[in-house]
Chains A and B, each alone.
Chain A
Amino acid sequence: MRSDRTLTIVTRTLAVISAAIVVLVVGFLLRESTPALRQIGVSRFFTDASWHPRSGEFNLTPMIVATLVTSLGAIVVAAPMGIASAVFVNFYASRRLAAWHRTLIELLAGIPSVVFGLWGLVVLAPIVATFGGSGQNLFTATIVLGLMVLPTVALLSDAAIAALPREWIQGAAALGIGRSAIVGWIVLPGARRGIGSGIVLALTRALGETMAVLMLAGNIVEMPSSLLSPGRTLNANIALELGYASVGHRSVLFVSGLMLMLVVSAIIFLVSRQRGTRRDR
């Protein structure tokens, strides 16, 4: 039995290492952002006049707003399309078409964000530019971001719909209820939790996305006045400035990374807890 104990010890050690990585990530973010939090303080990230790190002005608000606008906008794009895709594969498509559709959605999920960015830059931005501006603005970024997180909504909604008891749908059909009414009154309400968590997870994806937005949003730090104005998200800001940031500036970038991490983790934690309580019931 000694070798069994070795196995337990080795595998558990590996598991502890895997679990510790997240602690390490948070630890390092905190360590690197402490100088900024100590010397500058949280309130100045919202009250400073502007974002000019070299002259000691660290207003993050425009970037926070841009991050929220693009992420929420992406959900507005992705949620209806994703849910419609899930309904399509379960109720409207033939079995073969549904299998194809699922494969293609998974393919969409696998396309790298730089490729989305490149496509947006070369194809979509010139189209958006006909509405005015250079085409590199929050609107373009939002659309592409929506396409990127769509598979998350579609696949999770699909799973939630497929998990519904078949008797509900058969029963409704036996009552002579039409297909659209079955979807609208039985399927979507029944699967609303699964669809909801799909949308929330898509939101965390959108909040965490960097490259496509960096390539498309125009990257000018200013409070966005409309969807067609350029903007810079927190993620893009880190990617643009970490390379040359001096000590204090670098620390502020870590603070913004910490903000992102905390928001995303809080959302995921809440979703997983909600799932947990449902499982217990």
Chain B
Amino acid sequence: MIDNGTVATAQHDRREFCVTVAVWCAAMSVIGVLIWILVDIAIGGLAEIDPGFLVEDVQNAGREGGIGPIILSTGLILVVCLTVSIPLSFGTAIALTERVGAETWFARNVRRSLDVLAGVPSIVFGLFGNAFFAMTLGLGYSILSGGLTLACMVLPILIRTSEQAIRAVPAEYRYAAAALGMKRTTIIFRVVIPVAMPTLAAGVVLSVGRALAETAALIFTSGYVARTPGSLLDSGRSLSVHIYDLAMNVPGGGSRAYATACVLVAILLGINMATSLLLRMTGLRHRSETGAAC
């Protein structure tokens, strides 16, 4: 009896030990791979980067020179993307949150279609942008097409974060404002949006991160041209497309691809920190929004 007991305990202890080791190993290997990737990019990239790299023109298909025009194009694509997506998504978020409590038929269906939009593969956005913006609207391969395609792509996440930001404003604020006789428009613009501002900003920053990371949707909308764009109707290559092109289509472009990747990852790390800083300002957590597809 006693023997049985000790055997069982020993078995339990062993199993407990094995599971603990397995869980730790799995968790640490995930982190290990992440650090491996980051360190690899940093070592490979920093060796190539000098101050000139960030401003000089692309030469010899990217093997020499810098990424000045690429950074400019990326910035312009982002500006187009945000100019369109911010008003759209803030407006939509206000419409979705207009009734506190029960959800309207309208809101439910808008949200459902946004859920589907959130799951659309990025290459499908590329096809759509190519067919709609580039061909049907006649914008061609241009920064405008690329930016508009990205705007469609970041819309679901931007709306979702804006909606959560607006919902997180305590209902008492609205009640108090309404009790003072303010109109709904005034309440939203003078009370709700100012209070929600840091979280709204965090959503925008998060979307910028998504847009920067995107490649597949841009290849056939904003195109490949690595020159400095003269206008929004010129084709412009984004950082991510540049990395892809250097790694796959330019023999000997690997080290420059690393340098560009290093710049891109550095920007994204900055964005990540900005998001968590903004969210810490409001004391809200942002666990559910990142990483989740819907």
Q: A: which residues have CB within 8 A of B?
A: 1, 3-4, 6-8, 10-25, 28-29, 31-32, 80-81, 84-85, 87-89, 91-93, 101-119, 121-123, 147, 150-152, 154-156, 158-159, 178-180, 183-184, 201-202, 204-205, 207-211, 214-215, 235, 238-239, 242-243, 253-254, 257, 260-261, 264-265, 267-269, 271-272
Contacts and interface: CB of A to CB of B under 8 A. Distances in A.
Contacts, number: 281
B91 A11 contact: yes
15 contacts: A16-B110, A18-B155, A20-B113, A25-B120, A93-B27, A105-B30, A115-B264, A122-B40, A180-B16, A201-B293, A211-B215, A235-B123, A235-B216, A238-B127, A239-B126
B268 A32 contact: no
B27 A25 contact: no
A201 B24 contact: no
A209 B292 contact: no
Given A84-B27, A178-B16, A183-B19, A15 B96 contact: yes
Given A208-B120, A268-B293, 12 more contacts: A7-B185, A14-B87, A25-B124, A81-B26, A87-B23, A110-B209, A112-B212, A116-B37, A118-B258, A118-B261, A156-B292, A268-B119
B126 to A, nearest CB: 7
Contact of B98 (A11, A18, A87, A156): A11
A115 B128 contact: no
B169 interface: no
A116 B190 CA distance: 44
Contacts of B292: 152, 155-156, 201
Contact of A268 (B27, B132, B265, B294): B294
A261 B91 contact: no
Contacts of B7: none
Interface residues of B, number: 91
B165 interface: no
Nearest to B188: A7
B43 to A, nearest CB: 11
Contacts of A85: 26-27, 30
A11 B92 contact: yes
- The majority secondary structure among interface residues of chain B is helix
Interface in B82-135: 87-89, 91-92, 94-96, 98, 106, 109-110, 112-128, 130-132
Given A28-B131, A111-B268, A159-B288, A264 B120 contact: yes
